[in-house]
Amino acid sequence: MSYFNLFIPIFYLIFLSNTQIIQFTTAQPTYFLHDCLGSNYTTNSSFQKNLNLLLSSISSANTSTINNGYYNATVGQTPDSVYGSLQCRGDISSEDCQSCAKTAAKDIITEERCPKSKQAFIWYDECMLRYSNQYYFNLMQTSPGFYLSNVDNVTDPNKLNPILGDLMNGLVSKAISSGSLNFATGDTNYTSFQRVYGLVQCTVDITSDGCNRCLRGAISELPNCCDGKQGGRVIRPSCNFRYELYPFFTQSAVPPSPPPLSPPRVSASPPPSSTTPSPNAKKSSKLAIVIAIPSVIGVLSAITFFWFFCFCRKKHKTRRLDVVVDDEIQNAESLQLNFRTVSAATDNFSEANKLGEGGFGSVYK
């Protein structure tokens, strides 16, 4: 059996293991904030059953029901109605959006978040989920608001502030002219060797005018939020913005799709069993893909090199052997031809044709 044939099953196993890593790991959303509002509901109440149905609906939302990263739904009748919505960041994939929806729907009612609240928000880098016992769809809301800033300071805040202001105001104009996305990203030079990156977004259920007012108001909070900081964000229910001195968003945004329909009403049925997410979440699939793909390429390169080396070496040996054999055959034929010629010329080495004896034997004429 050749060395190449021995390598086939080994390569197959390595390739399958790396393929499984790529296929079955999913990116985990990055939590950073939640807020619990309103009064509390009682255990096993109609409101809790409706809330569980709502969160189940959000968790199972997919590309056919999520429009421009947005989904909303209503469950139950007054006074136990529950309204809920999901807004994913405009530059993430549909798979990451669904992953964030599932995580947020489980996480928001855990003991560490808002286990009994009738109103709650939870924010991740990838999405925001909120629910309420009061109707809020299509309404621009600025409260509650939150600031988050980078712990590091810039060396020259007086230089950064006007550059940042121009960048953010430009992104607001870009977002409100983006159709139903209400989302924009961009960057600009901060120094000759460094850039500043920005992102703005509104929930897609509010108008472009409402988005403009929400974002302009949020940007006016920059001096209170992040003056002199290397990064920061302002978060409101209907909009948010962020800036950093490093890239934190992807360049391809979620493609536009038809505007969201009126929120579906989820029929009341027995609530699903609640599940608490594990605190030890698996690492992102992006890291797994970065690790898996080079290893597959490396194995392919090694196999190709090994096959090429063995094949060429075997072929070279075969050619050399052929040349040696051919040479030997030609030499033998040459010797046989010379003997016959000499025998005929001397009348089969007849004594009559013999001239005498020399140092190398008999001499014939």
Instruction: Output the DSSP codes for 301-343.
Output: HHHHHHHHHHHHHHHHHHHHHHHHHHHHHHHHHHHHHHHHHHH
Q: Report the alpha-carbon distance of residue 248 to residue 125 in Å, rounded.
A: 10
Alpha-carbon gap, residue 122 to 134, rounded angstroms? 17
283 DSSP assignment: P
**CA–CA separation, 126 and 199 (whole Å):** 12
Which residues, given as ranges, of the chain have pLDDT below 50?
3-4, 6-24, 253-262, 267-292, 316-337
Two structure tokens written together for 191:
């120094």
- Is 340 buried (19+), middle (13-18) or exposed (0-12) by CB count in 10 A? exposed
Do the beta carbons of residue 230 and residue 184 sit within 8 Å? Answer: no
- Rounded CA gap, 115 and 36, in Å? 9
> pLDDT tens-digit profile of 213-243?
999 999 999 999 999 999 999 999 999 999 9
- Only one residue has tokens 């904030």, namely 33
What are the φ and ψ backbone dihedral angles of 56, each rounded to 5 degrees?
A: -65, -40
Q: What residues contact 346, with CB distance under 8 A and at least 6 apart?
A: 353, 364, 365
Say whether 94 sits in a helix, a strand or coil. helix
- Residue (of 26, 34, 30, 98) closest to 69 by Cα position: 98
Q: How far is CA 159 from CA 191, 234, 247, in A?
A: 9, 21, 20
Beta bridge partners of 121: 35, 130
Closest C-alpha to 145, from 221, 228, 32: 221
Would you say 210 and 238 are in contact if contact means Cβ atoms under 8 Å apart? Answer: yes
Q: Are 131 and 73 in contact (CB under 8 A)?
A: no
Q: Provide the pLDDT for residue 287.
A: 40
User: Before 144, cis peptide (omega within 30)?
Assistant: yes
Q: Which amino acid is at 158?
A: N
Q: Which helix (H) or strand (E) holds 3?
A: helix 3-24
